[in-house]
Every structure is written in structure tokens, then in C-alpha cells.
């Protein structure tokens, strides 16, 4: 298996040049959305994808009404689910799915409608290093196995890409499964991900082959919910229900989506009611948003850690995380399309989740009377605390500990007030403290309120755990909810220009207080229900204070009533408004008279407890706005787009921002002021709108490339955005090839949009200092230097405010580093390939990160060609070789801009990847030039230590290859086997394709033979052992490309034995492999 960085590199350069080699994976049918590469250290954009020709509906009415409704909307029934009463319907005529969903929602017959979301497995492949399972030691599995290794009656359902049913570590423990993607096909793995997950959870233990799973004696139910193209809401929900109906005790889901699907919710609830424990991977987004189904409260959400008990750099984290488990370089069973059953390493939260699923199976095996809630509580309470003391959003309750979990008992603490009828009376203004002792714990309080009074509360967190709180009337009606996670998907999605994205639960507080007011109440008793989001609990105390407020005690608000756009109150420029968000759900609307072309500034003063936001809206449509009140970042009111949202602070932080009206003449702009968390406090906020005239900097006017201001390299530029839409242009020149270092500093919190162009106005580099997109994390250091490579010439810099809502000052500095580039050519694209001939040597530099150097090689006679690259220390290099088909011209590259029918990129044929060495080691390999023609070499590299790219040079050698046999050659048959002695350590080479090496050794009776094969990174080694009669005794092939094969075998009879060593695919290598052969004679009683 190639290293992830190598896979990323080759895919990057291939997709830049020829998409046919590595086509983008899209679901069956076709998908709407975009794909991204998951760099191991960078936050990534999380795309919600869905099948573009399907919707899922739940309808009211009788069969006739439903048929008429489907016909009217041009929908065809593809599948009906009688368990959840859902219909999978196909669309016609290329209907836009987001708009169709929006339209269908307006029908009274529609109970729910949603796209058919696509799910993807979470795994990051890595190049394996050693044949070991470090994670089992980390989670204390060995001690736990002294108590139980599981029962055969306990079943773990692995919802994934299927399972390799022939794998020797899995085949004897599988129970019947299913394929919900295509029921007519088998549930066999066609990807490898599901087999890897299954092995982690429950591979056979103590069978003297392969690996050990966490719950080695438990059974595995393979439920294939993905094929090569992914899975959908239908396949995943079907898989959950099928597993629950067919006896699964535990369901593992190492996949996810960013969409909160109602159908998924109902399937999860269906399984929960059947007593199934569900575990899911948090996601590999490297940010604070958790994928579904892990984000659902019925599911144990698992983040991933590395060998040092730190959060893995790819792992998602957030308020839904329950526990963590190792997820980096996890060795397990694997299915490979070339080799079949094998083993390999993968990284991801996908690998962490099945360890937790395996632990759940062990607990059920040891204590079958435990309920799912009790199993979950034991897993969480026995975990080793990592990070901050107590629960935190990175590690949850901590890293699982199998032995401690199996020796922990669950003693449910019955608190007197855990039911509404047993609610504890509290007095106004008097704090009460309590603990949420376990996941399902909840505390009820009651207070008597006089007629027409208001009820205010403050809920202080228990450490990092901020509970949710609901308020009920005496009749049991819920009046309001605060800080609670949205479980149902339908109400929590929104449409935008890129498709249907979820609105993440970012308003759930972590370690912050919750405030609220409900007002004008009839006399009576009112109830507070305090509970943990996502079954959260804590050993620390929370504090609840409720206070009754008479009307005369409420902060006066002279601007009420102004709860809707129609009731917006006019505000004069310069006047400071003092008002209150009270009660909860209150929003205040204002209108201000503005002039086109002017810039206006909004300033607020926010009291403690409020998380204020100001929405700026232009002239409304004739029918007004039908906005959903109190939701975060509500950019879409009845499909109309607000101009912007001013929301840069947090709870208790002042908000400030600017806007520029887009109107033809003078008119009104509207301001919607609200609390993002639905909270309220009995304290005023202030709002002031003023005309804003930002100072012009000395570079103005520079609004276009024609007005770009020259700047000197090494000098600091100090400027400002004179308006929200201001864009500043600069230009600079360099006289030789080198690196330009860009250092950015913003005085305000603005996020810059920076693009570097060359003289032809072609983009050279996009500099990323964060993003306003809620699905993209801002880098930890926004002032981090960024580098890009330049050739001699003139360049332009375009800088704008990404958000377009903040004016302010900024600074940046450009410095130049000549870097001593040995390859002055900018050969970063195929059309700029540098010629190289057979027998030539080139030196080059791979800098900055993701730099690629391209060479073109003309071959005039067919034959083997040797490529050798010597990298600088700390750089892991590779060379990808492509061949240009006959009839293509190099000048065709990139020349279809005028729509002349020429190709955008050469339609190259991939030949081979030369990737035999590690960081700082030589990469060498031979490829067969099957016919004369033009070949391209793409040289890429990756730093061993992310962010620290070596500045040394590499040397590239290309020449014709002729194999020179070494001492170990001419041994390609049993008859020509080379003799070996005991403790033999030798290093032969596979000199050509299909090369085989034979060896022979005399082994005494009652011996233990050990064979060890350490291949170079481009060889997939196989060892076969034969007796003197030529009968095969055993075949050793448990690892993938570049991995070590290690094997021990008892030898009963003395005699000559033969070893056959070869590459699985018959490949050759210019680098030797290392072979170790030794035996130890043991006595009849097994003693040495």
C-alpha cells in the first residue's frame, strides 16, 4: 500500500493533467456536489452530496391521493419502505433537487421530503511500517481479554463496503448479511474499507495467523451499504433496519455525511428501540463539525487519537464526541483487488469506531443484562481522561480502556427529581446545584409564578459540559428549549447556491452559560428539565438559578413592538438605540434611510449572556420575508438573500461592521437584531448606525489591475479597505526565479481574499487565511507566512475582504528568497516540461510545498528505462511516468480556450510510479518503454515533517537499463536453487519482470523455522516453502506492497527444504530485498 502522501501526490498531478486516469468518484446515477482531497494536516471543506435524480418522501393521505401527487410532480416510485413509510422516488427532466424539495414541502400531503444523501467511508490510507497492532496495547485489550474475548452469540453488524468472506481471519465468524445497495448482488467487499473495519472489531484471535480483533470471539454481520460509488440514505437506513431485525447487538458505522437526514434519524431510532448499541465515526474533517450519524444522540460518537494520545490531525471534534480511540496507522485485515485477502494499515476515525464497537460487544458478552444506555455509560465512565479534565469536545470522556470497562459496574443513581412528577421546588433567585450523573440522567425543577410575570433563568455549565434546558407548563406543554441539539433533519437544512447544506449545530454551547426569559405567564407552576446533550454527563456540578420578574422589573424597551420586518422601527443615523432581547425568541427589526454609494457602520454594545447578530437586508420583496426566527445565520428568508450578517463576536462580545447599500436611489435598509442561541437576558443592548468615511490609504485609487500600485519587495504595505466591496491591486517585479514570501496582518478580524496573477492575468497562487464557510476551519495561525514560486517577470496582487462586511486596516509584506534554485525553469505544468534525454542527469528543487517538476523524454527505441532520483534529506520523492499516445502534439496542451476543438490537456497513458524509497532515500525503478514515443516524467515530493519542506536539491537520472546479474541470480528454478546456511541474511534483487529466486537449506528435525522478507517499497513479496519432493508446505503473503512478511513454522522432519521468493505481480526492482532465514532446534518436549 502506498503512503497517503504519495497517493495524494499522484492523484493531485494526475487530476491536474488527465482525469481519465483517476476519474472523480461519484455515486450511482450521478451526484451533485464537489470532491476534495483530505490532506492529513489541513482542515477540509465538507461537501454534502446527494443523488441528483432522487428524493425521499413520507406522504399523508390515501393511496389514490398519493398516486395523483406523485404523477402531478413527475415522480416515479423506485422503492417503498413499509417499516418507516418512506417512498424513494425518481425525478424526471433534470429537475433541480433543492428547488424540488422546497416546492414539495409546501404540499399538505408531504409529511417529510429530503434529497437522497450520499455517505462516504472515513479512512486515510498510509504506508505500513511494521507488522503490529499498537492500538490494542493502548486501549488495554490484553488485560481485558483475560476476562472475556467475547461470545459467539453476540453479533457486530459492520455497515460498510462489505466484508471479504474468504479472509482467513474473518471467514469462520461471519453470520448472514445483506447488500442494501443492490440486493441482487453479494455483500462481499469491493473496496477493502469494510474488511479493515471488521478486522479491527472482531478478527479471529489465537488462530496463529494474521491479527487479533477487539472482540475476537464475537460474530460479524456484513451489511453492505456502499459500493465503489458510495452509499445513500436509502441504503444506509435499510442497512440499519435490516441489522436490527436480524439480531445485531452492535452496529458499527464508519462513515458519514454532513446532512441531518430525517430518514436516517428514524432508522436510528428504530434500531435503538430494538436495543441495538450504535457506534459511528466522527469524521475526518479536521474541524469542529461532526458527521451524521455520529452527531445523533442515540449513537456513540468516536474521535481518533494518535500514538501519543493526541487528537489525530485528521479527526473531527465537537460537542457530540463521546469517547476516542486510536485511529492512526491501524493494522487490520484488508481486501485488495489484485491480491484478495491480505492485511494493511489505514488511518481515520473509521478505524477508531470499530474498537469501541468491539468493546461494546465484550461488555454484552460479559454482562448480557446490561442495557444499551448502561453499556454506553460504562464505556464513557471507564475511559482514560485525555485533554482537559473531564469531558471535552476533542476526546469526549477519554480514550477507551477495555480492561477498566470490563471491571467497571454500573450503579444507576436514582435522584429524587429525575421525573416531572418528582420535580424539586426551587425559590426565585436562589441557585441550586446538581450533577448529571449518567448519560440518561435528567433533573426536574418547579417554581410557582404569579400571574403575568416573567421567568428568567441562568444555567452555569458543569466544567465543559453545558446542559440543555427545557421549560414546561403545568399541563406538560413544552414552552421553549435552550441549548438542545436538533435531532430531526428536515427542519435544520437550508438551501444555498451550491446545493443543499446542513445548518450545523454550532449553537450548542461548550463550557458557556445559558440564559433565557419567558414572559407574560399565566399564574401556575412551571417546570425546568435539565439534561445532557448527546447523553452528556459530568462529575462536576452545574448551577441553575431561576428568578421571577414582575413587569416593572423588566428592562424597558421603547422600540417594541418591532418583532417583524413589517413593524420595523425607523432609526435616525447617529442615534444610539437602547433595547432588549426579551423574551426568548425575540428579534428586533429596524430600518434606516440610506443613500446609494455611501458606506454605513453598525456598532453594538452587547450585555453578558447574549450572543447577538445583526442581519442587514435590502429592500424586501412585495410579499415580505417569511423568515424562521432565532436561527443562526439565517441568510435565507423565503428564498431571499440577506445582504450580510454581522457576527464576528461570541457570547457577550460587541458586534461591529459596515455595509454599502445596493440601491438605485435613496431608500430604506432593514436590520434584524437577534440572539443566535434563542437566549434572552434582562439587560439592554445598544445599536447605532452612522455614515462611515474610512480614510483613504496612500495607494488609492487601485481598484483594478490597470491601477495596480507598484510595491518594493521587502517593504511593508499599510492600507485599508475603504468599503465592504473595496478591492486593492498591487504589482511587483522579480528579476530571477525564486520564492516570494507573503506575510499578512489584519488589524480587524477580516478574512482576506488574495490572488496572485502573472503578466497574462493567469492565477499563480491563491493565498488562504481562513474562510467564512461554516464547513471550513480557519487555520490556527492566520498570520502564517505563505510562499509561492515565481519566474522573472511582473506579477499582480488582488486583495479583497472575503466576507465583504468589514472595513478596516491591513498590513502585508512581500519578501523575495532567491533560494538558489538549480532549476531556473518554471516547469510546474506539462506544457512547460523540460526536455531530458537518455543518459542525462537533471538537478531540481521541489519547493514550496506541492511543487511538481515536469520533464519530457523522447524514446526512439523500445526497451527498459531506468529512473533514479536522489532526494535531499527529509524529502520523500516519487516519479510518475506517462506516455503520450500517437497522433498527439505537445503544442495541443492547454489550447482549447478559443473552443477550437483542441484538448485542454494531453490524453496521456499512465505507465508507472517510481516510489521505492522513504524520506531522504533513493527512489529507483525501471519501466518498459513498449514503443518509441514521447514520455512525461512528473517529479513530486512530500516533507517527512509537515510544514518543513527541505530546501535541498534532488538529482534525476534517466538512462537505458540492462540488468547485471548479482551473486544470487541464475536461480530461477528449484534445480538451480542457491544453498543457504542457518542464520542466513542476504539481499538479492528481482532483476527483471517475472524474476523468481530459489534457495535451499538443510533443516534438522524438531526445529522452528523463521522466515523474514523485507522488500523495497515497490515490491510485494511472497515466500513459498517446499519439501525435498517439491510439495508446497506453506505460502506466506499477508502484507501489501513494501510491507514486511514474517513467518514461523515448526519443522518435524530433517531434510532439504526449498524457498521460492517472488513479487506477487511479477514486478522488478533496481533495489534489493532483504531475506533472513534461521532455525532453532528444539527438543522433543519443546525445549531449546
Active site residues: 160, 193, 350
The torsion angles phi and psi of 1034, rounded to 5 degrees, stand at -160, 160
Q: Residue 761: is it exposed, middle or buried by C-beta count within 10 angstroms (0-12/13-18/19+)? A: exposed
Strand partners, 50: 32, 117
Q: Are 582 and 560 in contact (CB under 8 A)?
A: no
DSSP H or E segment with residue 103 = helix 97-105
Cell of 650: 461570541
Of 574, 630, 642, nearest to 804 by C-alpha is: 642
Cα–Cα distance for residue pair 157/243, rounded to 1 Å:
6
What residue has cell string 529512473? 867
DSSP H or E segment with residue 355 = helix 349-366
Cα–Cα distance for residue pair 739/479, rounded to 1 Å:
61
The phi-psi region of residue 174 (left if phi > 0; otherwise alpha if psi is between -120 and 50; otherwise beta) is beta
**Distance between terminal CA atoms of the chain?**
38
Strand partners, 346: 125, 330
Cα–Cα distance for residue pair 1053/1031, rounded to 1 Å:
14
Q: Are 336 and 190 in contact (CB under 8 A)?
A: no
Cell of 827: 516547469
Strand partners, 798: 729, 755
In 820-909, where does DSSP find H-type helix? none
Of 265, 116, 259, 246, nearest to 187 by C-alpha is: 246
Cell of 300: 456513540
User: Which pairs with CB-CB distance under 8 Å and at least 24 residues apart come from 303-306?
Assistant: 303/327, 303/349, 303/352, 303/394, 303/395, 303/396, 304/328, 304/347, 304/348, 304/349, 304/351, 304/352, 305/352, 305/386, 305/395, 305/399
Q: How many helices (H) and strands (E) are present in the chain, helices listed first?
A: 11, 66
Cα–Cα distance for residue pair 325/351, rounded to 1 Å:
8
Cα–Cα distance for residue pair 823/839, rounded to 1 Å:
18
DSSP 552-566: GGSPP-TT-S--SGG
Cell of 800: 479583497
Cα–Cα distance for residue pair 328/330, rounded to 1 Å:
6
Cell of 1076: 533472513
Cα–Cα distance for residue pair 232/447, rounded to 1 Å:
47
Amino acid at each position: 500500500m502506498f503512503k497517503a502522501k504519495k497517493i495524494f501526490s499522484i492523484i493531485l498531478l494526475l487530476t491536474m493533467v488527465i482525469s481519465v486516469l483517476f476519474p472523480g468518484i461519484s455515486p450511482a446515477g450521478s451526484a451533485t456536489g464537489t470532491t476534495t482531497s483530505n490532506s492529513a494536516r489541513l482542515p477540509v471543506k465538507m461537501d454534502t452530496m446527494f443523488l441528483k435524480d432522487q428524493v425521499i418522501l413520507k406522504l399523508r393521505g390515501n393511496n389514490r391521493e398519493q398516486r395523483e401527487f406523485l404523477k402531478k410532480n413527475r415522480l416515479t416510485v423506485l422503492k417503498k419502505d413499509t417499516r418507516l413509510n418512506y417512498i424513494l422516488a425518481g425525478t424526471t427532466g433534470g429537475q433541480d433537487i433543492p428547488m424540488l424539495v422546497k416546492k414539495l414541502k409546501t404540499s399538505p400531503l408531504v409529511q417529510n421530503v429530503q434529497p437522497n444523501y450520499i455517505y462516504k467511508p472515513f479512512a486515510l490510507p498510509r504506508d505500513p511500517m511494521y507488522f503490529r497492532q499498537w492500538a490494542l496495547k493502548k486501549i488495554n485489550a490484553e488485560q481485558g481479554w483475560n476476562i472475556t474475548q467475547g461470545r459467539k452469540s453476540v453479533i457486530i453488524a459492520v455497515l460498510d463496503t462489505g466484508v471479504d468472506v474468504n479472509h482467513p481471519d474473518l471467514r469462520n465468524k461471519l453470520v448472514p448479511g445483506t447488500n442494501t445497495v443492490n440486493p441482487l448482488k453479494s455483500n462481499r467487499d469491493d473496496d477493502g474499507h469494510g474488511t479493515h473495519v471488521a478486522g479491527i472489531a472482531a478478527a479471529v484471535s489465537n488462530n496463529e495467523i494474521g491479527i487479533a480483533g477487539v472482540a475476537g470471539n464475537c460474530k460479524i454481520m456484513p451489511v453492505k451499504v456502499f459500493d465503489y460509488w458510495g452509499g445513500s440514505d436509502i441504503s444506509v437506513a435499510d442497512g440499519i433496519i435490516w441489522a436490527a431485525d436480524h439480531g445485531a447487538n452492535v452496529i458499527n458505522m464508519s462513515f458519514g455525511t454532513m446532512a441531518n437526514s430525517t430518514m436516517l434519524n428514524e432508522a436510528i431510532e428504530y434500531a435503538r428501540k430494538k436495543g441495538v448499541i450504535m457506534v459511528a465515526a466522527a469524521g475526518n474533517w479536521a474541524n469542529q463539525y461532526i458527521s451524521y450519524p455520529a452527531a445523533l444522540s442515540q449513537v456513540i460518537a468516536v474521535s481518533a487519537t494518535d500514538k501519543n494520545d493526541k487528537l489525530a490531525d485528521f479527526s473531527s471534534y465537537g460537542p457530540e464526541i463521546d469517547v476516542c480511540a486510536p485511529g492512526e496507522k491501524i493494522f487490520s485485515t484488508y481486501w485488495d483487488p489484485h491480491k484478495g485477502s491480505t492485511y494493511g494499515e489505514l488511518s481515520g476515525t473509521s478505524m477508531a469506531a470499530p474498537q469501541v464497537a468491539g468493546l461494546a460487544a465484550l461488555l454484552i458478552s460479559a454482562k448480557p443484562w446490561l442495557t444499551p444506555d448502561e453499556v454506553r455509560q460504562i464505556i464513557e465512565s471507564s475511559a482514560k481522561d485525555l485533554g482537559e479534565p473531564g469531558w471535552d469536545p476533542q476526546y469526549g470522556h477519554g480514550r477507551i480502556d477495555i480492561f477498566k470497562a470490563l471491571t467497571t459496574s454500573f450503579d444507576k443513581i436514582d435522584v429524587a427529581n429525575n421525573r416531572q412528577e418528582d420535580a424539586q421546588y426551587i425559590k426565585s433567585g436562589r441557585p441550586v446545584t446538581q450533577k448529571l450523573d449518567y448519560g440518561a440522567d435528567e433533573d426536574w425543577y418547579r417554581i410557582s409564578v404569579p400571574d403575568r410575570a416573567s421567568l428568567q433563568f441562568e444555567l452555569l455549565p458543569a466544567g465543559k459540559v453545558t446542559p440543555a434546558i427545557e421549560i414546561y407548563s403545568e399541563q406538560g406543554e413544552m414552552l421553549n428549549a435552550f441549548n438542545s441539539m436538533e435531532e430531526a433533519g428536515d427542519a435544520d437544512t437550508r438551501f444555498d447556491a451550491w446545493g443543499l447544506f446542513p445548518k450545523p449545530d454550532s449553537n450548542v454551547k461548550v463550557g458557556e452559560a445559558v440564559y433565557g426569559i419567558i414572559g407574560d405567564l399565566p399564574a401556575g407552576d412551571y417546570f425546568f428539565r435539565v439534561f445532557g446533550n448527546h447523553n452528556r454527563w459530568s462529575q462536576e456540578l452545574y448551577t441553575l438559578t431561576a428568578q421571577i420578574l414582575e413587569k416593572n422589573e423588566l428592562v424597558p424597551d421603547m422600540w417594541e413592538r418591532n418583532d417583524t420586518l413589517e413593524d420595523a422601527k425607523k432609526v435616525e443615523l447617529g442615534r444610539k438605540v437602547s433595547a432588549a432581547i426579551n423574551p426568548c425568541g425575540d428579534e428586533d427589526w429596524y430600518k434606516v434611510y440610506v443613500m446609494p454609494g455611501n458606506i454605513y457602520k453598525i456598532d453594538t454594545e452587547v450585555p453578558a449572556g447574549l450572543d447577538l447578530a445583526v442581519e442587514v437586508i435590502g429592500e424586501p420583496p412585495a410579499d415580505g420575508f417569511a423568515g424562521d426566527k432565532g436561527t443562526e445565520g439565517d441568510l435565507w428568508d423565503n428564498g431571499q438573500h440577506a445582504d450580510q450578517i454581522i457576527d464576528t463576536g461570541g457570547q457577550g462580545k460587541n458586534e461591529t461592521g459596515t455595509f454599502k447599500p445596493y440601491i438605485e436611489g435613496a431608500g430604506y435598509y432593514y436590520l434584524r437584531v437577534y440572539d443566535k442561541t434563542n437566549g434572552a437576558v434582562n439587560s439592554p443592548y445598544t445599536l447605532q448606525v452612522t455614515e462611515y468615511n474610512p480614510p483613504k490609504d496612500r495607494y488609492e485609487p487601485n481598484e483594478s489591475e490597470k491601477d495596480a500600485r507598484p510595491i518594493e519587495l521587502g517593504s511593508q504595505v499599510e492600507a485599508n479597505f475603504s468599503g465592504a466591496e473595496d478591492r486593492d491591486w498591487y504589482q511587483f517585479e522579480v528579476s530571477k526565479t525564486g520564492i516570494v514570501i507573503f506575510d499578512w496582518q489584519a488589524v480587524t478580524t477580516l478574512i482576506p481574499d488574495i490572488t496572485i496573477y502573472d503578466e497574462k492575468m493567469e492565477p499563480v497562487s491563491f493565498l488562504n487565511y481562513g474562510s467564512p464557510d461554516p464547513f471550513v476551519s480557519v487555520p490556527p495561525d492566520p498570520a502564517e507566512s505563505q510562499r509561492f514560486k515565481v519566474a522573472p517577470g511582473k506579477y499582480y496582487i488582488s486583495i479583497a475582504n472575503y466576507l465583504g462586511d468589514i472595513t478596516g486596516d491591513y498590513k502585508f509584506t512581500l519578501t523575495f528568497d532567491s533560494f538558489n534554485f538549480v532549476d531556473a525553469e518554471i516547469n510546474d505544468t506539462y506544457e512547460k516540461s523540460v526536455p531530458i534525454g537518455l543518459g542525462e542527469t537533471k538537478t531540481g528543487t521541489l519547493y514550496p510545498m506541492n511543487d511538481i517538476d515536469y520533464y519530457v523524454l523522447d524514446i526512439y527505441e523500445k526497451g527498459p528505462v531506468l529512473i533514479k532520483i536522489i532526494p535531499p534529506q527529509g524529502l520523500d520523492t516519487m516519479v510518475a511516468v506517462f506516455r503520450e499516445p500517437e497522433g498527439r502534439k505537445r503544442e495541443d496542451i492547454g489550447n482549447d480556450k478559443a473552443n477550437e476543438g483542441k484538448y485542454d490537456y494531453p490524453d496521456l497513458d499512465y505507465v508507472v510510479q517510481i516510489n521505492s524509497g522513504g524520506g531522504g532515500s533513493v527512489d529507483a525503478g525501471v519501466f518498459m518503454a513498449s514503443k518509441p514515443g514521447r514520455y512525461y516524467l512528473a517529479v513530486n515530493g512530500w516533507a517527512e515533517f509537515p510544514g518543513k519542506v527541505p530546501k535541498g536539491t534532488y538529482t534525476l537520472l534517466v538512462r537505458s537499463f540492462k540488468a547485471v546479474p548479482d551473486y544470487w541470480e541464475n536461480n530461477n528454478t528449484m534445480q538451480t536453487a542457491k544453498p543457504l546456511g542457518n542464520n542466513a541474511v542476504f539481499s538479492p534483487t528481482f532483476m527483471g519482470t517475472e524474476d523468481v529466486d530459489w534457495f535451499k537449506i538443510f533443516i534438522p528435525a524438531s526445529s522452528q523455522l523463521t522466515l523474514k522478507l523485507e522488500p523495497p517499497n515497490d515490491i510485494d513479496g511472497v515466500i513459498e516453502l517446499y519439501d525435498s519432493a517439491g510439495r508446497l508446505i506453506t505460502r506466506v503473503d499477508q502484507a501489501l506492497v513494501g510491507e514486511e512478511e514474517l513467518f514461523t513454522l515448526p519443522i518435524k522432519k530433517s531434510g532439504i527444504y526449498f524457498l521460492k521468493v517472488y513479487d506477487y505481480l511479477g514486478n522488478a526492482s533496481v533495489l534489493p530485498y532483504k531475506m533472513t532465514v534461521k532455525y532453532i532446534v528444539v527438543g522433543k518436549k519443546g525445549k531449546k
